[in-house]
Amino acid sequence: MSATPEIEALRVSPYRDGGAPMTGEELIAANPYRPWPARITSIQTLTEHEKLFEFRFIDENIRNAFHHQPGQFVELSLFGVGEAPISISSSPSKSGFIELCVRRAGEFTQRLHEMQCGDIVGIRGPYGRPFPFEMMKGHDVLLVAGGLGIAPLRSLINNIHDERSEFGKVTIIYGSRSPQEVMFRDQFEMWRHRKDFDLYLTVDHPDDGWDGEVGLVTKPFQHLEVDPDRTFGAVCGPPVMYKFVVQEMRNKGISYDRIYMSFERHMKCGMGKCGHCQIGHQYCCIDGPVFNYWEAKNIQGSM
């Protein structure tokens, strides 16, 4: 699909005072509110309600300059519809594109689900505080995702996968309501076949073909052997899940400041200006969305 004149206009790279064109990094920094045009290059249907979209920035400078870390999000805009925060689901170790896993929830996400490969959207970011990937190196990592929480955690899991030798034991627990709602089945099969990932898939309501665990996402904790002095926890899922998963991690002896969780709050600007995502004295968009349990406990009304 060829770009419209409006899109072409957005592609023009401004110049510095001296006349040299700005680098991609300079362009992004010059106006962090500006969405950059990106093309949908792949769409994968994951479940009845979720699709995985791959986007590539049209401007090569932006494409090369855009770097994120696991746990960060972008503001995705659909022209004439609006803007929404969406976690980046792909690993930073894969460059040139980003993947967003989106659940159909209301008007915005419905319109995205109707789009086709070649369609153009706007993306600004990346925003927010990521998971402490570098700090996790040299340690065991216990990752727990519920439902759509697998979207941001997938970025972290794939990043760990690509630098596997830097980490100790890696355990992944992923819970869904039913087998039909399990996302990224092919990736789970790949991780399952690797001997260096301990994987637990669990559903609340199994069907006849289900051969994984049955029960809440906390159930596999019964089998887990955790060395608390060398383990980081990472949790992402529906709000109700955090309290119970964190309690299980605490029962295993993992310390408050090594349990990380990602919070979703309604947000607009993504840059700590509008106040929509304020929880107590913190802005979820810049102080989070990833907080450790110690911080989360001290944010009024968050846990």
Residues 129, 163 contacting (CB under 8 angstroms): no
Query: Would you say 250 or 276 has its CB closer to ligand FAD?
Result: 276
Residue 296 touches ligand FAD, criterion: CB under 6 A = no
Q: Interface mask (CB under 6 A) for ligand FAD, residues 203-242, using x and -?
A: ----------------------------------------
- Quick one: which of 130, 146, 233, 289 contacts ligand FAD (CB under 6 A)? 289
- Quick one: which of 29, 105, 117, 190 contacts ligand FAD (CB under 6 A)? 105
Is 117 assigned a ligand-binding role in the annotation? no
Q: How many CB atoms lie within 10 A of CB 262?
A: 29
Is 284 assigned a ligand-binding role in the annotation? no
- Separation of alpha carbons 135 and 143, rounded Å: 15
Q: Interface mask (CB under 6 A) for ligand FAD, residues 153-192, using x and -?
A: ----------------------------------------
CA 6 to chain CA mean position, Å: 30
Q: How many CB atoms lie within 10 A of CB 59?
A: 18
Query: Would you say 137 or 276 has its CB closer to ligand FAD?
Result: 276
Is 277 assigned a ligand-binding role in the annotation? yes
**What does the DSSP assignment read for 72-88?**
-EEEEEETTTEEEEEE-
- What the block records as the tokens of 96 is 């040139």
- Quick one: which of 18, 106, 209, 301 contacts ligand FAD (CB under 6 A)? 106
- Quick one: which of 52, 78, 98, 102 contacts ligand FAD (CB under 6 A)? 102
- Separation of alpha carbons 110 and 206, rounded Å: 28
CB of 33 to ligand FAD, least distance (A): 17
Residue 109 touches ligand FAD, criterion: CB under 6 A = yes
Helices 185-193, 150-162: crossing angle, 10 deg rounding: 30
Pairing of strands 73-78, 120-127: antiparallel
- Separation of alpha carbons 271 and 104, rounded Å: 25
Using alpha carbons, select from 94, 86, 89 the residue that is nearest to residue 63: 94
CB of 102 to ligand FAD, least distance (A): 4
Q: For ligand FAD, which stretch binds (CB under 6 A), given 29-37, 61-69, 265-273, 295-303?
A: 265-273
Q: Interface mask (CB under 6 A) for ligand FAD, residues 50-89, using x and -?
A: -----------------------x----------xxxx--
Residue 134 touches ligand FAD, criterion: CB under 6 A = no
**Which whole-number Å values give the CA distances from 45 to 41, 115, 181, 184, 200, in the listed order?**
14, 12, 12, 10, 23
Half-sphere CA count of 7, side-chain side, radius 13 A: 17
Q: Which residue ranges make up the annotated binding site? A: 269, 274, 277, 285
What is the binding site for ligand FAD (CB under 6 A)? 73, 84-87, 101-103, 105-109, 148, 151, 264-267, 289
